[in-house]
Chains A and B, each alone.
Chain A
């Protein structure tokens, strides 16, 4: 019971995470996630890593409605 009292419902304040432990995650996941954003938002437009225009055509409406620059 005393453990529950140590975690009152109104005041949950997690401690800062050590940035050293965060860095590998931020780098790895960050690059992958930004890559996804690039594929959805920009590839086969101004720059093209994947040849063709299939991605562009497939996500065409999403790209426009997410306000990325499009043709």
Chain B
């Protein structure tokens, strides 16, 4: 028997705000979270632009032992998960006595690895790096920390799929619940924001250099875009079987009805229309709806010249030119491993509040973006179905379709 999969909780810690309400307001206002970070320039970055979140003070929530294995990915994920758990009407006592899984997207721990190596080089002695380093440095840091803090007893692993990590994590949670293997899975994505994590990415010369105008620099689909802007934080969604949500008597925020995925099998960094189309069509087929049912597409578009054009073409081929499209990366920058999860949260907030957040800085289309309906100003509109795209290095693609439950 297949189970319906619903969303019963969300949490967000991003450069648009540190909780759902603040982020909702930022999305509605089209507020950018991008800044110029002098530290990056001093570090040798080509572009010092970044979305910015602060490291949360966890001393008020967690003991020393609970905090010691946490660096940015786990710290951000804790904040987002804490909010999501509360939003879903869950608590640790309930989680400890039931089976809840955790599949979190994360694809780096560069900040803590860098600090550890610096320390070993300074001391020339590995026993002086402290007990927390190994738990900060492993890529599954979010899962290790969150599963122990929240006493989770279900499936427990980290999903690494470049900038589609967060999206695939939700997709995998969906499949496990749909098949009846899990009743509830906490999914999400985390992205560290420190310069060490982003130096090699900046080295590809793909970041925007519009440093004199940080909030105007991320301009997905715009003719004058010149690159992406890194960003970070964490986003969590609580997926649950429909039966479990009804049994617990909690509000159902949306229903996940389609997960499409594909691999380009092509180039390390270049996008591929065929790969994206296969992911989009698979999601639609699984959702069992026509393309024209989709009211809104949250595009992956990162503000790179090549990536945005390919996605615009892929969207046009499958959906035509009518469906409303925006890239919230115009406000957040590219939240990388977190983006697939955060953009589901952003789109859910739009669906809950009947608006489409703007693709800010979209002033002039180019040949491909002119083919699709990009929403440049906040639009009041009911959303019954939305699709969220995520594409990652190595050619990994993920598309999620979520339906409103009245």
Are both chains from one complex?
A: no
Chain A residues with CB under 8 Å of chain B are: none
Question: B residues touching A (Cβ–Cβ < 8 Å)?
Answer: none
